[in-house]
Chains A and B, each alone.
Chain A
Amino acid sequence: MKKVNVVKKILYANEKYAFENVLFFAEHKKLCLNMISSPGSGKTTILARTISDLKDKIKIGVIEGDIQTDIDARRISQTKAPVVQINTDGACHLSAAQVNAAIKKLPIKELDLIIIENVGNLVCPSDFDLGENAKVVVLSVAEGDDKPIKYPAIFAKSRAMLINKIDLLEGGMVDFDIERAKTDARRLNKGMEVFPISARTGEGMNNWYDWLTASVKSV
Chain B
Amino acid sequence: MHETMLAQSLLATISEEAAKHNAKPVAAKISCGGLSAVNDEILCFAFEAVAKDTPCEGMKLHIEHKPLRANCRDCGREFDVNLSMPKCPECDGESFELLADAPLLLEEIELQTD
Tell me if chain B binds chain A: yes
Tell me which residues across on chain A come within 8 A of B98, comparing CB atoms: 156, 188-189
Known contacts A9-B105, A92-B2, A152-B35; A4/B86 CB under 8 A: no
> Is chain A's binding surface mostly helix, strand, loop or mixed?
mixed
- B49: Cβ under 8 A from any A Cβ: no
Q: Which positions 1-32 of chain A face chain B at CB distance < 8 Å?
A: 1-14
Complex contacts, A128 vs chain B, CB 8 Å: 2
A10 lies within 8 A of B23 (CB): no
A187-B94, A190-B95 known; A6 vs B35 contact (CB < 8 Å): no
- Chain A positions within 8 Å of B59 at CB level: none
Q: Are B35 and A126 in contact (CB under 8 A)?
A: yes
Residues of A87-136 contacting chain B, CB below 8 A? 91-93, 95, 121, 123-124, 126-128
Chain B 77-106 residues near chain A, CB threshold 8 A: 81, 83-84, 86, 94-95, 98, 103-106
Q: Is the CB of B37 within 8 A of A124?
A: yes
Closest residue of chain A to B21 (Cβ to Cβ) is: A4
Contacts of A6 in B (CB 8 A): 13, 17, 106-109
Interface pair A11/B12, CB less than 8 Å apart: no
Q: Are A1 and B113 within 8 A (Cβ)?
A: yes
Question: Is B9 touching A11 in the complex (CB atoms < 8 A)?
Answer: yes
Give chain A nearest CB distance to B32 CB in angstroms: 9
Cβ-defined contact, B111 with A1, below 8 A = yes
Whether, in the assembled complex, A81 has its beta carbon less than 8 Å from a beta carbon of chain B, the answer is: no
**Residue contact B37 to A127, C-beta cutoff 8 Å:** yes
- Tell me if A93 and B107 are in contact (CB < 8 A): no
Are A9 and B103 within 8 A (Cβ)?
yes
User: Which residues of A sit under 8 angstroms from B5, Cβ to Cβ?
Assistant: 91, 93, 95
Residues from chain A with Cβ under 8 Å of B38 in the complex? 127
Q: Are B110 and A1 in contact (CB under 8 A)?
A: yes
Q: Does A58 contact B (CB under 8 A)?
A: no
Interface residues of B in 1-51 (CB under 8 A from A): 1-2, 5-6, 9-10, 12-13, 17, 21, 23, 26, 30, 35-38
Give the distance to chain B from A180, nearest Cβ to Cβ, in Å: 14
A59 contacts B by Cβ under 8 Å: no
